[in-house]
Each structure stands twice: as structure tokens, then as C-alpha cells.
Structure 1
């Protein structure tokens, strides 16, 4: 389905978007990347992809990026808590981007959309959490914005014929990532290898998936799931604690720091301290990850140390 297609990847200068854009090019697709470069890096956009610098909260920029020659839009652009201190700005920016993309797709007749949602839509749910868990009760503004985005996509899938694939991510890790626990620990230990500050009590435990497997799963689902609205968790069957991440990063850097915990059972307001997604729906479709959570963390730590540490 994706071979020889014409695809737009919003947020294509970011972690998942840049890796997906490269993989689509390898499959013979024509790829356009749209990104405002507020988080992403222009250097991450793969050679061979057209690039449009676009603020997707601006309908004029969206009109330049979303054109009638597209076969599919991968809408990966989003802001996180690290982009905005103001909750209203974060919520309104994310939902405006999704609304603008969907509105423009409807105007020009593009009828396939893949969207990166988040495990945060579930809130503090029983584990492993299946896609049909409900009610969905996010505890962060970011999670609330993702749930609102999903509602907009559902409307367009069922009322306007936009076949949609919604991916609820675990923690996706890999090269080029910043603003996540692994690069944060690397940067802290590079500055002071004797001590590492850890937000929370270190017992927060989540599933980590390497970006290479994330983009493999996305392509597989888009190629093989054909409902009007297809919702899939993407993650691993295993989890890694924050203290274990610290141990892995320290080991990869060859240092032995003392840990200074900030206390509390979560790292920040809105943080879900324990998360593991059910991936049975993904497995039933025929795809499972080969890299477990600890190994995804270790592989990412090694890749990121090469990038960050001079």
C-alpha cells in the first residue's frame, strides 16, 4: 500500500517522523516533510524528501503542505509539556494542528491518515492496557489534547470517509531524541559523572520501544489493517524502571554516580508512574517487537551517547 505512494509526514524532522520518512523513501514512496523546526532539526530530514517549513496551527501553511496529490498523511507533529509552560497554549496548539490537517484533507480529497497518539490518553489504567479500555481518563493536558485529537479523527473517519490509523505510543526512544529521560541522564552525567538527579522515586516503570521497531510497526499496520478507524497500541511486553534506566546509562558511559531522588511516586504533575500497554491486537495482526524494553533503552543510550558526548 505504501510502496510508490505520495506521503506527507508532519513533524518529519522529529524522532519518529524522520525515521519513518527515511523508511518510506526506501520503499519507493515520494515523501514531503512538514515541520516548524521548533523541536525537530532540519538535518534529520532525509535526503530525497521535499521539505516545507510549516506552522500547522496556521491554515495557510497547512494548505501549502497538504495538497491533492497526496495518497496519505502521517500526522506526527505535536507539542509536549516541554514546549509550553501554558496548558491552554499546549492544548489549543495540538488540537488546532489536527483540526487544520483534517479540514484541509477534506477540502482536497485526501482520504488516508495515520496519527501518533499516546499512552497518556489512558491515564492511570490497569496494566497491560488494551485499546478498548474505558473510560479514557488522561491526567495531563498533553494526554487530554491527544484524546481530543482522536475524537476529531474518529469524526472524519466515520463521517467523511478518511480511513485512519491511530497509534497509541509507549515511550519511543532512539537516536536524535532530546527532552526524554535517556538524553537527560546522559547530559547530566556528562556534566557531573559523580551524581545523578532522578525525578521521583526511581520506581516509575514504563515500556520503552526503539524507534526502528516503532516505524516498522506503523508501516505494517497501515499496510494490513483496513477498518475505517484502526486503533493500535505500540509498545513492548516488558517495562523498565527509571532507576534501571539510570543504571543502563551509567554503565554505557562507564561511570558510577550516586543517585539523588527528588521524592514522590511520579516525576512531575501529570506523569503516569506505571504504564504497560497490551499489544495483543498488534500481535493478532501479525507483528510483534523483537527488542524488549531494557534492550531498547540500552541501544538508545549507546546511540545517544555517541551524539551527545563530545
Structure 2
């Protein structure tokens, strides 16, 4: 089997690429020529180069000989780009990859979406069929990309499915660095009660789940939530990380809404100037919105089974941050 992985130089994409190689796949990666490709160094892979956000169709050679496409590439949480660029990458770019796959008669297509398309979970744990409710323009663009992919599969008779990752973490990730760093430094203060639910997925488990979605016949036409074995309250998550570092956790609670309004004002001032705000409202969402999901469908149809318990995954990630010097670096806090 030959797989094409878009966005393979990113966190999830690089782990998926390595997982596919371990399973015996031939792998071609599609990345931007000027992107950081250090995560792929030394791997026995083929390279194809393109910017899926521009108006040029993909060259035929990109899909030549490919059996399955894993479309991971996306614009994620960038604050210093025009809002329309999220749709250029996450919708128009997805259409470009879909059309190229159809033209090349690719056998399978896996589109990577996000559980963010369901926004705040009103009745956790959420199932795949629960309604869309995106909470920001990133999530809106991913919803539009997901709907486009599902519609394309039906209309163009392309065997494909959608996967929605839950809270991806692990060595190499920087998304959760601030949380770990503040806990390690003793500066962490909980915003709100801390009793909201949070669900994480160790990146190696996610890679295995995405690969299965491209292999199982039962996956065709379906949506799958790929998550870890358990979800916990934010208080519990913070305590687990603090215990790894043997650090105390402050009992001080910061009120939510003053921080939310501060984020709103920062965005109002900074975004028109293309400056990354010091505080975002979406970061406050982390403290006030439930994020818990039901992964039974992936278990049943994909034979997906997370192998890394939350405590083990958190320990591996926490030690990677520490061993990499990221907890001591003053620049790490800005990541």
C-alpha cells in the first residue's frame, strides 16, 4: 500500500507518517516547500511539494500510485492571518486534495477534522451524531471542510471517511506547553471552578486510529471520534501534571468573565494590527467548556483501542518538556 500524508511535517502528520512506515506502507508526504520539515528528517519517504491554499491544482505526480490519502494538513489557531485564510486552507485546500484524489482514482480518503466542530458539549460525552456547534472561525472552517468532504464522498463516489481527533498531546507537542510550564513554575491559577471535563488523546494512539480509518471497510462514509480511554475534570488534570513534577497547586480561583472580557478587548485592539493578542477568548474556553467524547463507534467499527493510559501519556509528555529544556526557556511561554 502507498499512502499520501498531507501536512506530514506537523505534529499529528509526522506521527502518522512514522506509524504507517512501521506498518509497512510506502509513504509520500505533501508539504509546503518552505515549511519546517525537521520532524521528517531521516525517514524513508517521498516528498511532494505544494501549497494547498493557492489557486493552482495539484500536479498529477502528487497522487501517482497512491492507494490511500490521509488529509491532515490544516490551518490551526493562527492569530496573525486574515480570517479568510482559514477557509483557503481548510475548505478550498481540502477540495483541491479531494479533486486530485478523485482524478487519480485513489481507493480511500481519510479527512482529518476536529471535535471542535461540535463546540461546547452540552451533554457529555458527545457522540458523532450530536449537532454541529462551532465556537470560533477556526472551528467553523473545519466544519465547512468536513461537510465538503462528506458531500464529495457521496457525489463523486469516493470511498472516504472523516476522523475527529480529541485533545492531541504527547512529546513534540507545544499546544499544551503553557499549561505544563505554568504548573511546573508554580504560577498556575485556575480560571473558574475547574470542574469542566477534559478529554485527551495520546498522539501515538491517534495515529493508530487514523490509520485504521483508511484500512477498515466499515469506515467508508462514516465519522469517527478518536480519543483516549478516559476524560477527567480540569482540576484532576492539573493535579496529575503537578504530581509528576512534584509541585503544589494554588487553591486560588480567578473569576472567568473579567479574563474573558480582557481577551475580547485584546483581540479588538491587536487583530486589526496583525498582532497576536496576549490573551484570547478561546484560551478562556479551555477553562469553561466541557470537552468529553464517546469513542465507542471507533472501537466497534475500526477495532480502535487506545493503548497509552492518561497517566502514562502525561508523564511522557511532562518529561519530554523538561528534558527538552522548554520548561526553563523564557521563550517557551510564548509558544
* Structure-1 separation of matches of 2:86 and 2:130: 25
Kept in 2: contact 1:210–1:300 (CA 8 A): no
SS at match of 2:228: coil
Q: What is the RMSD computed on CA atoms of the aligned residues?
A: 2.8
* Structure-1 separation of matches of 2:313 and 2:33: 26
> Per the alignment, do residues 66 and 202 of structure 1 end up closer, same or farther by CA in structure 2, a change over 3 Å counting?
farther
Question: Which stretch shifts more, 13-22 or 242-251?
Answer: 242-251
1:102 deviates by 1.1
Question: Which stretch shifts more, 75-84 or 60-69?
Answer: 60-69
Question: Which stretch shifts more, 58-67 or 293-302?
Answer: 58-67
Decide which structure has greater strand share: 1
Q: Equivalent residue for 1:172?
A: 168
What TM-score do the two structures reach when normalised by structure 2?
A: 0.78
SS at match of 1:274: coil
How many residues align structurally?
Answer: 300
SS at match of 1:297: helix
Q: Equivalent residue for 2:290?
A: 274
Q: Equivalent residue for 1:185?
A: 179
* Structure-1 separation of matches of 2:102 and 2:110: 15
Q: Equivalent residue for 1:42?
A: 37
* Structure-1 separation of matches of 2:21 and 2:299: 26
Q: Equivalent residue for 1:298?
A: 315
1:162 deviates by 1.3
* Structure-2 separation of matches of 1:203 and 1:268: 19
* Structure-1 separation of matches of 2:252 and 2:115: 28
Kept in 1: contact 2:5–2:29 (CA 8 A): yes
Q: Equivalent residue for 1:245?
A: 237
> Per the alignment, do residues 288 and 194 of structure 1 end up closer, same or farther by CA in structure 2, a change over 3 Å counting?
closer
Question: Which stretch shifts more, 160-169 or 296-305?
Answer: 296-305
The 5-angstrom pairing of residues 143-292 of structure 1 reads 143-178=139-174, 180-181=175-176, 183-188=177-182, 193-196=185-188, 202-226=194-218, 228-256=220-248, 258=250, 262-264=254-256, 268-269=281-282, 271=285, 273-285=289-301, 286-292=303-309
